[in-house]
Structure 1
């Protein structure tokens, strides 16, 4: 462990600075509770710049979490990508273990899905961002190794001020040789209920295709507007539910109704096809992250074309109807005006 700490010494941030940044871990600054402990927002002075941060403070009361802490530090210190949370540093002092990342102002995807406040276009862009992050983790050669995330779900996908996706939650990630990403890495079936690769039971481990399964669940969460697992629901698990509807061509029955009115049919077809393929039982039948990026980018492009065509057409129709009604109104007014004057003229003649 001493060697590990020395390797990351340049990333250490004094506890005093973190305490000051979070106002002594004031409860008003709590923005979440992760698997390791509470997350605090704050402002940290670094190299003359005031940075908005999120500080994940390891919960010391329950003990444990040390391995996960160093795993997260190790992973984040190496990962640099637009769609992965930005690592600032860590604190390991006086019994405190704290991971500091750049603050993502809009919170988690899970929170936004519960509020139903995202358009279909926004959802598509978020999906493309997460797919790019997984592609980077699985295949980026500059790093020299691949990463199996093992924790992809709607709560570990964070959104910045522009609603761009930032993948977080690397506490249980595994490094894997780029040439052996299909090789099973033996482990316990870690992850939130509803997202765990069912192949774990057969293989007793994970591959990069386990991330693909989890992402497939997220894709359908985004499409249907419901959680991956609902405890007291007859259809507790989302994955088998969407597979049933997709295979029986009744997917429209469970898509969130607010989204149906916004979608390009071609975009939905492309999106649902790739999402369904992620949930295949056999890992070999699931697409890889690069293929998913390509298909989701096509779905986004189809939606953009649709909106660029439909919006001007909608404006034209509204404008046309406005002028039609305006013309009718003017004609009726003119007709009524003439009738009024004729009637007035008759009255004057009779007088």
Structure 2
């Protein structure tokens, strides 16, 4: 049974210009112990999808979905109190804006200890000290060199990178079943990024923590993720196992993204132009009809003014009227 199963999720926002569909019929499935990547440009709706899963909703949000199941429970039928019980214990999220997510008038240590669940196997007179030592341990694991000193600091005394490490420590300290990481290595140096990804990989392999990794860096996602879902302007373009998508992308948008991955085995001419799609992503107030990639798609035809259905071939999903397919798959379809 999937840990998280979402079918045809639509998020509408009330704006001064009217109702805008920022996400339209998005489906997502995450299995236990899976690292699932969510890729998309800025404004594609990745962070909105992550917040909808966690239940952190805005006052002007309207959520419509055929199904939103969490470990056999229906998230749509839960009230606010039940959703809060899931947050932090079974689900956790590393937010994209770390300094804005921390309370500026509380020390780092008090906020980290407040977010941690005390170990009930330890006698109550030792729990406070044990939780304090556990908080230091997690700060050290995420790359803080002097955790005892940092726990006495306030968020405004730290850099963006240090605040991000504190947020990661808060998220992983309670060993959640699902960790939603929204740009977890933002504003970090390269060696620290590698350290954070190794920590997330250890949580996944040793403690079976499922991870939803949200990023726009496709090269990183290809290296760390088991499956990918690619969003464009609020619609799912393609989803499936990473190795299969890299070997044979079905959607024109996926192929355009993969062409931009650096190939270190070949020589590139100095200042050579990278392959790109013409145009830019549409604004939410002026979304095109049908497939939202249509005005930029190299394979677009008249049929693309109708929204394509999410097609299914084995473990692959794609939403395109004119997908790229291998000769073997074309023969299987004809047969």
| TM value normalised by structure 2 | 0.25
Higher-Rg member (1/2): 1
> Bigger relative contact order, structure 1 or 2, given CA contacts below 8 A and separation 6+?
2
Higher helix share: 1
Higher strand share: 2
| TM value normalised by structure 1 | 0.24
